[in-house]
């Protein structure tokens, strides 16, 4: 899509989401120019899922962009993004959480993270099962990690046209969020982010509690791999 089309589709998405929902514009596989088109319209949060591509864009693009890491993150890549990453949405193991904490401490900062839930039927998707997520929180080691802040949950639904299945899966994430908020984060105002919803299902997600949607294709067009 050209810059005009990107601006137009960005506003179409923004017009459909309520005020309390934050938009992460997922820019993976789209060039820096496309990001600038959205940036010039006021968009500041962008999502990327590959460390190298992200680092290249960070060097080229304005400093006030908030970069969210949304892809599967290998522990050996944490040190590369730790200096600048605004949020890591895809934490799927205790080992990764420890590594993020270690490098956040090294760079003297607190990195905001989301725990990624696996609620979809596909086996390929990463993330904690609800039971593993509860177990991690119950275990309590995370409380000793002073340089991370767990700000909520991220989830992806099954890629399907069956809207009732998508709705059920987001419903599971939403219920788990409420449960965890009550059991571990009652007094922690940072724990408030429910990141679910992509191009084809963000409106369903918002209907099931989402307050952060991660939309790529609907804004930037098909990815150029």
Q: Pick from 130, 199, 209, 221: which binds ligand PLP (CB under 6 A)? A: 199
Alpha-carbon separation of residue 52 from 57, 72, 148, 212 (angstroms)? 9, 13, 23, 25
Nearer to ligand PLP, 71 or 101 (CB): 71
Residue 79 to residue 14: CA distance in whole angstroms: 33
Contact region with ligand PLP (CB under 6 A), list: 15-23, 61-69, 140-148, 214-222: 214-222
Q: Pick from 50, 102, 217, 221: which binds ligand PLP (CB under 6 A)? A: 217
In the complex, what is the shortest distance from the CB of residue 104 to ligand PLP, in angstroms, rounded to a whole number?
Answer: 21
Rounded to the nearest 10 degrees, the angle between the axes of helix 32-39 and helix 3-16 is 50
Q: Please report whether residue 49 would count as binding ligand PLP according to CB under 6 A.
A: yes
Q: Please report whether residue 152 would count as binding ligand PLP according to CB under 6 A.
A: no
Q: Pick from 68, 118, 208, 214: which binds ligand PLP (CB under 6 A)? A: 214
DSSP symbols for 16-74: HS-TT-EEEEE-TTS-HHHHHHHHTTT--EEEE--HHHHHHHHHHS-TT-EEEE-S---
Q: Please report whether residue 26 would count as binding ligand PLP according to CB under 6 A.
A: yes
Q: Which residues bind ligand PLP (CB under 6 A)?
A: 26, 28, 49, 70-71, 156, 198-199, 214-218
């Amino acid at each position: 899509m050209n810059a005009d089309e990107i601006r137009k589709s960005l506003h179409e998405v923004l017009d459909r989401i309520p005020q309390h929902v934050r938009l992460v514009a997922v820019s993976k596989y789209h060039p820096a120019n496309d990001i600038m088109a959205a940036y010039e319209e006021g968009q500041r949060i962008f999502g990327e899922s590959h460390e190298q591509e992200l680092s290249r864009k960070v060097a080229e693009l304005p400093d006030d962009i908030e970069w969210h890491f949304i892809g599967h993150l290998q522990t050996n890549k944490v040190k590369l993004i730790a200096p600048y990453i605004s949020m890591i949405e895809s934490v799927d193991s205790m080992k990764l959480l420890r590594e993020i904490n270690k490098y956040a401490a090294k760079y003297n900062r607190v990195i905001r993270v989301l725990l990624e839930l696996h609620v979809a039927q596909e086996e390929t998707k990463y993330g904690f099962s609800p039971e593993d997520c509860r177990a991690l929180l119950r275990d309590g080691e995370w409380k000793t990690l002073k340089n991370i802040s767990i700000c909520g949950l991220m989830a992806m639904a099954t890629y399907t046209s069956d809207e009732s299945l998508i709705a059920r899966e987001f419903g599971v994430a939403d219920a788990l969020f409420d449960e965890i908020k009550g059991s571990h984060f009652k007094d922690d105002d940072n724990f408030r982010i429910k990141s679910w919803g992509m191009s084809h299902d963000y409106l369903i997600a918002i209907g099931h509690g989402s307050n952060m949607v991660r939309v790529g294709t609907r804004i930037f067009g098909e990815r150029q791999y």
